[in-house]
Structure 1
Amino acid sequence: MIIEEHSQPMVSIWMITYNHEKFIRQCLESVLAQETNFSYEIIIGEDCSTDRTRAIVQEFEALYPQIVKPIYQESNVGAYKNAYHYCYPALKGKYIACLEADDYWIDRQKLQKQVDALQHDPTAVACFTQVKVLIDNEDHFEEHWSSRLPLKNRYDVEDILKTFNITTCTLLFRNIYPQLPYDPLAFPTGDVSLSAFLLLKGDAIFINEPTAVYRVHHGGIYSPHNLENKNLVFVKIFTQLLKEPLFAAHRQLIKRLLADRAYQALCFEIKKANPENKKIDTYHHLALSQMHFGNLYYPLKTMLRKYLYLLTGKSFGRSMD
C-alpha cells in the first residue's frame, strides 16, 4: 500500500466493533495485508467494549497511526449510531469498503481488484464478490451463492431485491451515501437495506472469486438454524421499502417478495403450532422452494386455506378473499 501523508485515501474501510477480542486481530491483519497501488484508511468505531477489544485496537493504532484511525466511544451507543452517526462522517475515501470486526479478508488483492473494476466502469456504483461462510464453532467453510439468481458479472437493483445476496464484508461502493435519502434506523438491518438504496444509483459488479470470510454465529439472523427470524426480518425490510418513494417503480416486485417471505414465516408459525403434523411438514418444505411464483396471491391463499384446515379442522372459504 502507498502511504501518502495528508492526502485523501482512495478507500476508507468502514468498521465497527464491540466485544470482538477473539476476532479483531485477524480482521485488522487481513486489511493491513492488502496489496494496493493506492492509500487506504481504517475507520473503526470501538463501542466501549467490556473485553480486550479496545486494547487490541489501540495496539494497532500505535503501530499504524496513518492507517488505523479509531473512534472510541465513552459509553456504548449501539451498532447503528456507532456506524452511521459517528463513523460514516469520518470516511474520507473515494470508495468505501465494509468489514465487520468478526469477519476477515482472504484475498490480498481484494481492494485493488474492486477499485480497478469501478475505475473502469463509471456507471457502476458498487462491487461485491463471492464469499466463504464460516459457521462459528465448526471447522468447515461453505462457498456462498444464491442459487435463485443467475451467475453473471453485473446485477441491478431488482436482482438484489430478490435475494439481497451481497455479503457486506465483500462490498465496496462509491462514496455516495450522503446523496441517498436513506434512514438506516427505519430498517431492521442497515447493511442489507443499504445495498438496495445504493443500486438505485447504478449497477453492482460481481467478481466470482471468494475474497472474504463471513462468520455466522449460531443464533444470528443469518444462521442456517434461524431461518424463521430471517424471514421476519425480510418481511420488515420489504414492508418499509413499500413506503419509500424511490422504490415506487419496483412496488410490484416488492409486494411479491413480501408475500413470499410472509408465506414462509407463516409456514414456520404453523409448523411450530403442530410440529407432529407430517402434511404441514411437507407443505413447509414446499414453501421454501416457491420463490418463483409469477403471482403469489392465489397460490398463497390456497395454501393458507390448506394450512388452516390442517391446523384447526375448519374450512376457510370466501371470507379470505
Structure 2
Amino acid sequence: MKKNNEPFVSVLTPVYNGATYLRECIESVLAQEYSNWEYVLVNNCSTDNSLEIIKEYAELDSRIRIHDNGEFLQQMQNLNHAFRQISPDSIYCKVLHADDWLYPECITRMVEVAEMYPTVGIVSSYRLDDTRVGLNGLPYPSHFNDGREISRRYLLNNEYYFGAPSNLLLRSDLIRKRGRVYDESYPESDISACLDFLQESDFGFVHQVLTFTRRHEESHTHTLAKRNYHFMMGYLKMYLEYGPVFLSEREHKKQIALQTSIFHKLLARALYEGNGLQTYKKYASELDEVGLKIRNARLALYVIRELFVRLLATMGVEMINVKRRKKVGNHVQIAISDELGS
C-alpha cells in the first residue's frame, strides 16, 4: 500500500492501564506529517478506561484499529502478540509505548533513511529521555551504519544507540520472519532483538530528536531500574547468545568474565538487602541453565565489600552530623558570649 509514494507503516501501541498518558500518545500519531499509516492499539485487559479512550479515537480516524486481548499477557509475551497484529501490507513498523510520544516529523524522517538504504533493518534517532537528549555519539551524518559494527560497539564498549522500543522503526519483513521478536524469558530482551535484527541488516540513524521517552514511578523501566541486579541475567544471556556472532573468541571470553563479575556484585547487593537464600537459589538455577556457575568465594568477598561500603557510608554520615552539631554548638556558644558581653 502506497499513498503519495509513502510506504505503508504500521504504528503499534500495546496498552495496559495506560489511560494517564494515552491521549497524548495517540494524538502524537495523529499529528504526524506522514499520512500513510495504520495505528494498531492492543489493549491487554486494561482495568482503567484505556479501552474507552482508544474507542473514542478509533471513531474519529479510520486508520486506527483496535485489538482487544481475550486474556492478560505478560509484557514481553504481549509485545510479541502485538507484532502479530500488524497489517501484511506494512513495509515498516513503528512501535510506540502508551506513555511515550512522537514528534510530528518522526515517521517521515525515519522512513526517509530506511528508503535510502534498503539493507537497513532498524532506524533510530536522538530522543528526549524525560528531560535529557540521549543516544548521541554517532558522528554526523552517519545515516547508514554497518549492523555488525554497531553491535560490536555495543557489546564491547556499551555504546548504545537503540533506545527504548518507542525510539525505533523496524522493517516489517524482519518482524514477520520471526515467530517471536522478543525473548519472553526476560524483560530486557529488546536489546537482544536489535542484535538479532543486525545479524542480517544494517542500522540507520536520524540526527534529530524524534521521540520522547517518559520516566515516571509507574513505568516498567523505572521499576526494573530499582532492582538492577535482575537485569544481569538477561545481559548474561545476551552476551552468551550474540557474543560469538559479533566478537572474536578472545573478546567474547573477556566480556563474559566482565558481565559475570558485575552479576556477582549485584547479587551480593541483593543478598545484603535481605533477599536471601531464595534469590541465591533462583539465580544459581538460571546460571546453571546457561552453563555458568555462581562462584561462592567471589560472592562472599563482594558481600563483605558491600557490608564495608555501607559501614563507611554510615560512618561518613555520622561524622558529617558530628561536624554539624559542633558547628551549631559553636554558634550557640558565640551567641551566649555575645549576650553576656553585652
SS at match of 1:13: strand
CA separation of 1:268/1:86 partners in 2, compared to 1, >3 Å: closer, same or farther? closer
**Could you tell me whether the CA contact under 8 Å between 2:128 and 2:134 is conserved in 1?**
yes
Separation in 2, partners of 1:258, 1:247:
11
2:100 pairs with 1:110: no
How high is the TM-score relative to the length of structure 2? 0.67
2:202 pairs with 1:203: yes
Which residue does the alignment assign to 2:128?
A: 132
**Which amino acid counterpart does residue 82 of structure 1 have in structure 2?**
N
How many angstroms does 1:164 deviate by?
A: 4.5
1:93-123, CA deviations, whole angstroms, 9 ceiling, x for partnerless residues? 1011111011111x21111111111111112
CA separation of 1:25/1:234 partners in 2, compared to 1, >3 Å: closer, same or farther? same
2:49 pairs with 1:59: no
Which residue does the alignment assign to 2:8?
A: 10
**Could you tell me whether the CA contact under 8 Å between 2:127 and 2:213 is conserved in 1?**
yes
Separation in 2, partners of 1:257, 1:45:
38
**Could you tell me whether the CA contact under 8 Å between 2:128 and 2:211 is conserved in 1?**
yes
Separation in 2, partners of 1:178, 1:62:
29
**Could you tell me whether the CA contact under 8 Å between 2:113 and 2:205 is conserved in 1?**
no
Q: What is the aligned length?
A: 273
Separation in 1, partners of 2:46, 2:202:
37
**Which amino acid counterpart does residue 209 of structure 1 have in structure 2?**
Q
Alignment of 1:268-307 (within 5 A): 268-270=266-268, 307=302
**Which amino acid counterpart does residue 54 of structure 2 have in structure 1?**
V
How many angstroms does 1:310 deviate by?
A: 4.6
Which residue does the alignment assign to 1:267?
A: 265
1:46 alignment partner, one of 43, 55, 62: 43
**Could you tell me whether the CA contact under 8 Å between 1:231 and 1:261 is conserved in 2?**
no
How many angstroms does 1:234 deviate by?
A: 4.1
Which residue does the alignment assign to 1:177?
A: 175
2:75 alignment partner, one of 68, 76, 79: 79
User: Which structure would you say has the larger Rg?
Assistant: 2
2:157 pairs with 1:159: no
CA separation of 1:171/1:186 partners in 2, compared to 1, >3 Å: closer, same or farther? same
Aligned residues: CA RMSD: 3.6
Separation in 2, partners of 1:18, 1:118:
30
1:22 alignment partner, one of 9, 20, 23: 20
Which residue does the alignment assign to 1:70?
A: 66
How many angstroms does 1:151 deviate by?
A: 4.3
1:3-22, CA deviations, whole angstroms, 9 ceiling, x for partnerless residues? 79xx9961111210010001
Separation in 1, partners of 2:191, 2:162:
8
Separation in 1, partners of 2:213, 2:260:
27
The 10-residue stretch of structure 1 (174-183 or 16-25) with the greater mean CA deviation from structure 2: 174-183
Which residue does the alignment assign to 1:295?
A: none
Which residue does the alignment assign to 1:31?
A: 29
How high is the TM-score relative to the length of structure 1? 0.71
Q: More helix by proportion, 1 or 2?
A: 2
**Could you tell me whether the CA contact under 8 Å between 2:76 and 2:187 is conserved in 1?**
no
**Could you tell me whether the CA contact under 8 Å between 1:222 and 1:230 is conserved in 2?**
no
SS at match of 1:26: helix
Separation in 1, partners of 2:183, 2:30:
29
Separation in 2, partners of 1:79, 1:222:
12
How many angstroms does 1:233 deviate by?
A: 1.7
**Could you tell me whether the CA contact under 8 Å between 1:12 and 1:42 is conserved in 2?**
yes
Name stretches of at least 5 consecutive residues in structure 2 with no aligned partner.
Answer: 274-297, 309-342
Separation in 2, partners of 1:55, 1:122:
39
